Chains A and B, each alone.
Chain A
Amino acid sequence: MTPEIVSLSNNWPLFVSTMLVKILVVFVVVILIVAYATWLERKVIGHMQTRLGPMETGWHGLLQPIADGLKLFFKEDIIPAKAAKFTFVLAPMMLLVPAFITFAVVPFGRDIEIGGYIVPLQITDLNVGVLYVLAMASLGAYGIVLAGWASNSKYSLLGGIRSTAQMISFELAAGLSIVAVFMLSETLSLREIVALQMEPLWGTITFLPNWYIFSQPLAFGLFILTSLIEINRTPFDLPEAESELVSGFCTEYSSMKYALFFMAEYANMVVIAAIAATLFLGGWSGPFFGPINLLLKIVAFMFFAIWLRATMPRVRYDQLMTMGWKVLIPLGLANLIVTGIVVLLVQ
């Protein structure tokens, strides 16, 4: 006799408590990944530049993120005299929060059964999940433009405007590459997109999963490239542009507020990794326990991003914008047309 399995939503107290636990776990895990992403970055880039990276704090510098965090909390926090104080304080949070709430829709494992109830390993399954992700991704631009404006500094203002222009431009191309995926999946729910990717490739090839990277390699490439640009990841970190704009939008920031911008950068990288894994690489599906598969895919993506940073020189702003508007967006549109024709023909 198997016990009857019912949906959790029939039991409100249990529903709320599991929800809180899930949110807490996801939050803590993401914070940890973000903290250790800084460690990984310093380590990988260190070795690629034939030096060691952090070694002193803990074994191979493993306690470095904690030490850095402590140090940043005790640094002097300066707010420029004529800055718009409220917005100045708000801006870094506006950049960081959207990154975290994006994880609300990322599925990270198979449904598990606790005491006769189904507990989905996903905070919530929106049927417009992909749209939600796109919407949250675009919120970050507000944080940057507000930071630039509120600082009351010309460098910051210019830097903020530059960054926002860059982020918005590449959101279009990133959006187009995502559209290609849900033309194939015919759903916007990330949970169903992952489920579809667990089937055999194109319904016939049994030894390969139906990951959308195989059907949409161009869209995958576009998504990786454009989202790296959108989150201002080196070699596309023109918003910071230390050499030309003395850190651009965050020139006037110090202490923990400054660190929040960089936390947001890494959190965004984790978001992009999770979304890329979910949309193109089969999400949590794989040989191990669900969340571990997702984690491995996230780490692999982050390694790639760091590797790219260690290899490529920074591009020029006008070259980047030209590439975005004249190459990536037309490519994305062309990919959509081809995908549309193929989908129609197959049907």
Chain B
Amino acid sequence: MFKEFAKGLSITFKHLLPGHSTTVQYPHVKLTPSERYRGLHRLVPTQDREKCVACYLCPTVCPAKCITVESAENEKGEKYPRVYKIDMLRCIFCGYCVEACPVEALEMTGEYELANYRRSDFEFTKERLLR
């Protein structure tokens, strides 16, 4: 009994010695998430506008029903999303919208600091998603 007792104590004591702590001092030090991390969405821009052609595949596939798209046509006759917004309070970050997109206009970034004070601040409009 005493041997096991001493062994247990020695194990915890070894961890006490410097060099064992693995804490990241979060607000001061930030880790970069892996490539596959599904954080905040991003609408990919092309030359003068977003790549999105407002095909409605992403709101259709979205299980949380958090994407709102309203399409319109510009003067060249191309379809574009007049309204594109994602309600981040409902989003479950499943990434289906990215997979469904036929023109790769939507992707997910490593951005994970999404805390806010007002509910309205969680509504990400086209302007906020185009970065």
Which A residues are closer than 8 A to B by beta carbons?
44, 46-52, 55, 307-308, 310-312
What are 7 A-to-B residue pairs whose CB atoms are below 8 Å? A44-B16, A47-B20, A52-B25, A307-B9, A307-B13, A307-B16, A311-B11
A311: which of B12, B20, B22 is its contact (CB, 8 Å)? B12
- Nearest-neighbour CB distance to chain A for B71, whole angstroms, equals 49
B21: which of A47, A308, A311 is its contact (CB, 8 Å)? A47
Of chain A, the residue at the smallest CB distance from B22 is: A50
A306 vs B21: C-alpha distance when bound (angstroms):
18
A51 vs B11: C-alpha distance when bound (angstroms):
15
The count of residues in chain B whose C-beta lies closer than 8 Å to any C-beta of chain A is: 12
Give every chain A residue within 8 A of B77 (Cβ-Cβ): none
A51: which of B8, B9, B13, B22 is its contact (CB, 8 Å)? B22
A55–B25 CB distance below 8 A = yes
A52: which of B8, B12, B15, B23 is its contact (CB, 8 Å)? B23
A311 vs B13: C-alpha distance when bound (angstroms):
9
A50 vs B21: C-alpha distance when bound (angstroms):
4
Q: Report B1-30 CB contacts with A as 1/0, cut-off 8 Å.
A: 000000011011101100011110100000
A312 vs B13: C-alpha distance when bound (angstroms):
13
A47: which of B8, B11, B16, B25 is its contact (CB, 8 Å)? B16
Of chain A, the residue at the smallest CB distance from B18 is: A47
Give every chain A residue within 8 A of B11 (Cβ-Cβ): 311
B20: which of A44, A50, A312 is its contact (CB, 8 Å)? A50
- Nearest-neighbour CB distance to chain A for B35, whole angstroms, equals 27
Give every chain B residue within 8 A of A310 (Cβ-Cβ): 12
A49 vs B13: C-alpha distance when bound (angstroms):
10
Shortest beta-carbon contacts, A-B, top 4? A52-B23, A311-B12, A48-B12, A51-B23
- Nearest-neighbour CB distance to chain A for B127, whole angstroms, equals 36
Give every chain A residue within 8 A of B15 (Cβ-Cβ): 47-50
B12–A307 CB distance below 8 A = yes
A338 vs B21: C-alpha distance when bound (angstroms):
48
B9: which of A46, A47, A50, A311 is its contact (CB, 8 Å)? A311
A192 vs B10: C-alpha distance when bound (angstroms):
37
A46 vs B11: C-alpha distance when bound (angstroms):
14
Give every chain B residue within 8 A of A55 (Cβ-Cβ): 25
- Nearest-neighbour CB distance to chain A for B12, whole angstroms, equals 5
Q: Count chain B CB atoms within 10 A of each CB in A44, A46, A50 and give the residue with the most.
A: A50
Of chain A, the residue at the smallest CB distance from B10 is: A311
B103-129 residues at the A interface, CB under 8 angstroms: none
Q: Known contacts A308-B9, A311-B8: does B21 contact A52 (CB below 8 Å)? A: yes
Q: Known contacts A47-B16, A307-B13: does B23 contact A312 (CB below 8 Å)? A: no
Q: Count chain A CB atoms within 10 A of each CB in B12, B13, B25 and give the residue with the most.
A: B12
Give every chain A residue within 8 A of B16 (Cβ-Cβ): 44, 47-48, 307
Of chain A, the residue at the smallest CB distance from B27 is: A56
Give every chain B residue within 8 A of A307 (Cβ-Cβ): 9, 12-13, 16
Of chain A, the residue at the smallest CB distance from B15 is: A48
A51 vs B13: C-alpha distance when bound (angstroms):
14
Of chain A, the residue at the smallest CB distance from B25 is: A55
A46 vs B15: C-alpha distance when bound (angstroms):
10
A25 vs B20: C-alpha distance when bound (angstroms):
38
Q: Count chain B CB atoms within 10 A of each CB in A46, A48, A55, A307 and give the residue with the most.
A: A48
Of chain A, the residue at the smallest CB distance from B14 is: A48
A312–B22 CB distance below 8 A = no
Give every chain B residue within 8 A of A49 (Cβ-Cβ): 15
- Nearest-neighbour CB distance to chain B for A41, whole angstroms, equals 13
A309 vs B20: C-alpha distance when bound (angstroms):
19
B21–A51 CB distance below 8 A = yes
Of chain A, the residue at the smallest CB distance from B9 is: A311
Give every chain B residue within 8 A of A48 (Cβ-Cβ): 12-13, 15-16
